[in-house]
Amino acid sequence: MNSGHLMFELAKRLYPICRSITGNGVRETLSIVKEIIPLEMVEVPSGTKVLDWEVPEEWNIGDAWIKNSAGEKIIDFKQLNLHVLNYSTPVDRQVGLKELKEHVFTLPEYPEWVPYRTSYYNRQWGFCMSQKQLESLPEDSYQVKIDSELKPGSLTYGEFVVPGKSEEEVLFSCHICHPSLCNDNLSGIALATYIAEFVKSKALHYTYRFLFIPGTIGSITWLSRNEDLLEKIKYGLVLTLLGDSSPFHYKKSRRGDAEIDRIMNWLLEKEEGARLLDFSPYGYDERQFCSPGFNLPVGRLSRKPHGEFPEYHTSADNLDFIQPEHLNRSYEFLLKVISVIEGNKKWINLSPKGEPQLGKRGLYKQVGGMAQQKDYQMAILWILNYSDGNHSLLDIAKKSGIEFSVLNKAAMDLQHASLLKPAS
């Protein structure tokens, strides 16, 4: 089973769980991820001050339905958890069609689909259903029942750190607060899990940190508890919407020219149809990581662009909407990103005056005068010429057009020949 299938299986298992920004759905989700990577589950009590916010009361839900006067369940939470307004207050009473309609959300543009709606900070009860169903409802007396509970508890998130040779960090973050939505949140969770699983067995230069957090309040909570380590974060990616067939969309960090932006720019030039988007203060948790007081070098990688597809935040973002092959392509691309991050050093040429004599070090071809030069031999020259402490290996890759892996090999050989040392 390749990584795409493993990720799809994980998404399938997580799909039925009713997640929210707090509650047992999040805990259940993280426990399943924990079977694959040994993440830490962190509980932050309701009422804790986090930056400008406060951890809200914990929301849990047992069941919910609407019954008509014949006692038939016309809406059943157990069939589809999107039917309940996320964070809905409990309710249990009889209502007429008119009052019911005041508490129902639909998607008139897509009459067959059920929308996903939330009301975290404004207490109300509500249901979501298809426009078609709403229109078919007769005048009747309906029993509405939401067996939910809002009370002090905690906000739960998962964190997993793989220490590297350096204390400098690469951050991957995904949100875990959406209920039965696949591309939006499950694809990100699956990718973060299996990228972490890959990284944990390697001896890498950077420390890798993986966050599984509820959107907005989760990143705000994590940021408020970890201000001290933020300066160590050198690269970061928010992962979401990675299971569909679209070309990659990379949203730049607020800085716009952070190394992660430059790497993605360069790698995505080679990916057909890929697009780079400027930072905007709307979207996922990059909003928080890139708020002006933090301004972290964190971009966002997606396939579909955020919000620009009809299935977004609807029941149509289900298991049919993502595919193992697409998850796998996202995974392979992220491994490439990691290999560039790892090799993207600045070097210092230790013999910078004139070219060093490569022949006597076995680094040059034996017969001169031929017009063709192998990439490797050119890589040697490019690295020597531009390793002045101002150019990273990525800069040299851009200038030379030579494959990053060839340059990396050449750099290793030059270091071995004592012609290169890492810039401090």
Residues that bind a copy of itself (CB under 8 A): 51-53, 86, 105, 115-122, 216, 219-220, 223-224, 227, 254, 278, 280-282, 287-288, 290-295, 307, 312-313, 349, 351-357, 359-360, 366-371, 373, 378, 381-382, 384-388, 399-400
Nearest to 174 by CA among 160, 154, 153, 155: 160
Residues 6+ apart with CB under 8 A from 243: 7, 8, 11, 182, 183, 186, 187, 190, 303, 321, 322, 323, 326, 327, 330
Question: Are the C-beta atoms of residues 327 and 187 closer than 8 Å to each other?
Answer: yes
Other CB atoms within 10 A of residue 104 CB: 21
Q: How far is the CB of 303 from a copy of itself (least distance, A)?
A: 17
**What token pair was written down for 176?**
């875990």
CB of 42 to a copy of itself, least distance (A): 17
In the complex with a copy of itself, which residue's Cβ is closer, 201 or 366? 366
* Both tokens assigned to 359: 């022949």
Q: How many CA atoms lie within 13 A of 353 on its CB side?
A: 0
- Beta carbons within 10 angstroms of residue 138's beta carbon: 7
- Residues 6+ positions from 44 with CB-CB distance below 8 Å: 50, 55, 154, 155, 156, 157, 221, 225
Give the whole-angstrom CA distance, residue 54 versus residue 183. 29
Binding residues for Zn(2+): 178, 184, 313
d(CA 138, CA 107): 19
Q: How far is the CB of 86 from a copy of itself (least distance, A)?
A: 8
List Cα–Cα distances, 312 to 104, 305, 306, in angstroms. Answer: 19, 10, 8
∠ at Cα 311 (3, 213), nearest 5°? 55
Nearest-approach distance from CB 338 to a copy of itself, in angstroms: 27
Dihedrals φ, ψ of 227, to 5°? -55, -35
Nearest approach, Cβ of 287 to a copy of itself (angstroms)?
A: 6
Q: How far is the CB of 120 from a copy of itself (least distance, A)?
A: 7
Q: With respect to a copy of itself, which residue has the nearer C-beta, 250 or 382?
A: 382
Torsion of CA 315, 320, 325, 329, to 10 degrees: -10
Structure tokens that stand for 67 in this block: 């019954």
Cβ closest to a copy of itself, residue 196 vs residue 220: 220
Q: Which is nearer to a copy of itself, 156 or 314 (CB)?
A: 314
Q: How near is the Cβ of 124 to a copy of itself at its closest, in Å?
A: 8
Closest distance of CB 364 from a copy of itself, Å: 8
Instruction: Count CB neighbours of 187 within 10 A.
Output: 31
Residue among 68 and 216 whose Cβ is closer to a copy of itself:
216
Residue 138 vs 354, nearer CB to a copy of itself: 354
Q: How far apart are CA 212 and CA 29, in angstroms?
A: 10
Q: CA nearest 196: which of 1, 394, 6?
A: 6
Query: What is the distance between the alpha carbons of residues 127 and 116, in angstroms, rounded to a whole number?
Result: 10
Q: Which residues are annotated as a binding site?
A: 178, 184, 313
Q: In the complex with a copy of itself, which residue's Cβ is closer, 148 or 193?
A: 148
Give the Cβ contact number of residue 404 at 10 Å.
Answer: 21
Q: What angle do CA 294, 300, 304 make, to 5 degrees?
A: 150
Pick 227 or 332: Cβ nearer a copy of itself:
227
- Minimum CB distance to a copy of itself smaller for 222 or for 235: 222
Cβ 359 to a copy of itself shortest distance, Å: 5
